Amino acid sequence: MHVASIEVVAIKPRGGLIGFASIVIENGLYLGSIAIYTRPGGSYRLLYPTKQTGLRDINIFHPINRDASKQIENAIFKKCEEIFERSNEDDRYHQNTNSSTGTS
């Protein structure tokens, strides 16, 4: 299985939810609305979309084996690290958080 394309849209964090991902598998299957959550230790976890019908939740899609799950997770988590690492280099006010402030 080849994850051909990954898009991550960051959102204002709420309850651990930090964004949504969409992927294209084998250049022929688009999967979207995959929720990205942070874990207490700083890692990520994915939650696949469901639809509620009455009192029951029905899975829209999800990986059916560990290998497929790991490939999707690795691709999305790598993209998350790129996006969130880049945003941490400059904080939201474009200030370098590593430099000291002071006057000479």
Say how far apart CA 74 and CA 101 lie, in whole Å. Answer: 39
**Residue-level pLDDT at 102:** 45
Structure pTM?
0.79
CB atoms within 10 A of CB 3: 19
Residues 6+ apart with CB under 8 A from 37: 16, 17, 18, 44, 45, 46, 47
Residue written as tokens 């709420």? 14
Contacts of residue 57, Cβ cutoff 8 Å, sequence gap at least 6: 50, 51
How confident is the model at residue 97, as a pLDDT? 45
What average pLDDT does the chain have? Answer: 86
**Domain ranges in the chain?**
3-89
Confidence at 100, pLDDT banded by 50, 70, 90: very low
The answer, yes or no, to whether residue 104 has pLDDT greater than 50, is: no
104 or 21: which leads in pLDDT: 21
CATH tag, 3-89 = 3.30.1120.40
